[in-house]
Amino acid sequence: MKKSLLIYGAGAIGRGFIPWVFDPKQYDFYYVENNLELKEKLNKHKKFISYRTNEGTYDKRIVEIKECFSPGQEKEIIKNISAVITAIGPRNILSLQKMLSDTNIPIICCENDSSIPNLLSSVIKNPNVVFAIPDVITSNTAPQELLDQDPNSIVTENGVCYIDDRVSFLGGEAKYVSKKELENQWLAKLYIHNTPHCIAAYLGSIVNVTYLHESMQNKFIKNIVSNAMNEMVQMLLKKFSMDKEFVNWYSEKELKRFENKLLFDPIYRVAREPFRKLAPNERLIGAAQLCLSEGIIPENILLGIMSAFAYNNEIDEDSNITYLINSIASKDFLRIIINLNPTEALYEILLNEWEKNMKKIEMLKK
């Protein structure tokens, strides 16, 4: 008998990667999606195609779905679901509180924030909320020739999904691991992947390219991204005593991923919500702070931070960053908007490097 999955978010991870972790031949797929146009398309066709990159070509998986609901419409089926998977973004996770409260359904959080499972578990009173790390890059679209075949097509690479082994009974192609191993994988994902990944996107936005692999074709950007990744590796070796062979392997793997021309990973997807990425414990400000704590001057990450400040996308949820950076003095922007204390080393370094890094950004625009 098939297990049933209720997936919140029919985007990159939910639609592109999860069907490669849980084979649709063995699991029934239900989605909850707040994009009405996408929801209607999925319900009309009752299927979509996920493509997985494989040594210069694509593997193809046709994914049949039972139903795609708008938020709130899924109430009637929850009691019959084997597991819930969330992939809606950390800012949106508490929107699930009412629907999932007082249940014991296993909930797998594929959110890019390790604090989410504890937060969600505490508000819905469900002890079976676990963390998952999709060690993968998944686009939320596909190249035009694939979209012509199926407008709901999506592209992922061949990655690994690390999931807390408390829910290993769900099976699938996931790698169920201990809490310690999950923490190790999260450190690598957060700093060796997330930090340089978003830097590549912000710099790519500055040179006005559409996809991440196009950004990495710029020699200057590739050099900054590679050096930022090395700063992260040095920090992890010093701060967390991580295995050198592992972090070096991980960084080489990530650079190849960023350059994958088959992924068509949009800049706007990776760069979205810059204020979240600039949070104190996140991949930019938090990463730079950890470097400084170990005596590492993260020059390339500093440029990445400045490129996030310069991100200009009027349809982004954080589009007001453009107005703020242009209307507030740099010292006030760092203190009030980014919440840096003037006594902190990072505050002083960013101010001292402000003009130099802004000139680099202006040169990139030309």
The phi-psi region of residue 102 (left if phi > 0; otherwise alpha if psi is between -120 and 50; otherwise beta) is: left
Task: Assess whether 234 and 263 both reside in one domain.
Answer: yes
- The Cα–Cα gap between 119 and 96 comes to 12
171: Cβ contacts below 8 Å, ≥ 6 apart:
3, 22, 26
Report the side by side order of strands in the sheet with 83-86. Answer: 67-69, 27-32, 3-8, 83-86, 107-109, 129-135, 160-164, 175-177
Task: Assess whether 73 and 105 both reside in one domain.
Answer: yes
CATH number, domain containing residue 259: 1.10.1040.10
Task: Assess whether 238 and 279 both reside in one domain.
Answer: yes
Task: Assess whether 218 and 141 both reside in one domain.
Answer: no
Task: Assess whether 111 and 220 both reside in one domain.
Answer: no
Residue 350 · residue 304 · CB < 8 Å: no
pTM for the model? 0.94
Task: Assess whether 219 and 313 both reside in one domain.
Answer: yes
Task: Assess whether 161 and 213 both reside in one domain.
Answer: no
Task: Assess whether 37 and 164 both reside in one domain.
Answer: yes
Task: Assess whether 293 and 194 both reside in one domain.
Answer: yes
Residue 7 · residue 32 · CB < 8 Å: yes
Domain boundary among the residues 143, 160, 176 is at 176
CATH number, domain containing residue 100: 3.40.50.720
Task: Assess whether 232 and 333 both reside in one domain.
Answer: yes
Q: What is the DSSP string of 256-290?
A: HHHT-TTS--BHHHHH--HHHHTSTTSTTHHHHHH
The confidence score (pLDDT) of residue 187 equals 97
Domain boundary among the residues 146, 176, 206 is at 176
Sequence letter at residue 239: K
The confidence score (pLDDT) of residue 282 equals 95
Render pLDDT for 312-364 as a digit per residue (tens, 0 to 9). 999 999 999 999 999 999 999 999 999 999 999 999 999 999 999 999 999 99
Domain boundary among the residues 176, 211, 226 is at 176
The confidence score (pLDDT) of residue 245 equals 97
Residues of the chain with pLDDT under 70: none
Task: Assess whether 15 and 145 both reside in one domain.
Answer: yes
Sequence letter at residue 224: I
36: Cβ contacts below 8 Å, ≥ 6 apart:
70
The percentage of the chain sitting over the pLDDT mark of 70, rounded to a whole number, equals 100
Q: Which residues pair with 148 in a beta bridge?
A: none
User: In the chain, how many domains are there?
Assistant: 2
Task: Assess whether 189 and 170 both reside in one domain.
Answer: no
Q: Which of 101, 179, 102 minimizes the C-alpha distance to 133?
A: 179
Alpha carbon of 194 to those of 112, 201, 304: distances in Å?
Answer: 9, 11, 12
Tell me the two tokens of residue 225.
């991204």
**Which domain covers residue 84, as residue numbers?**
3-176
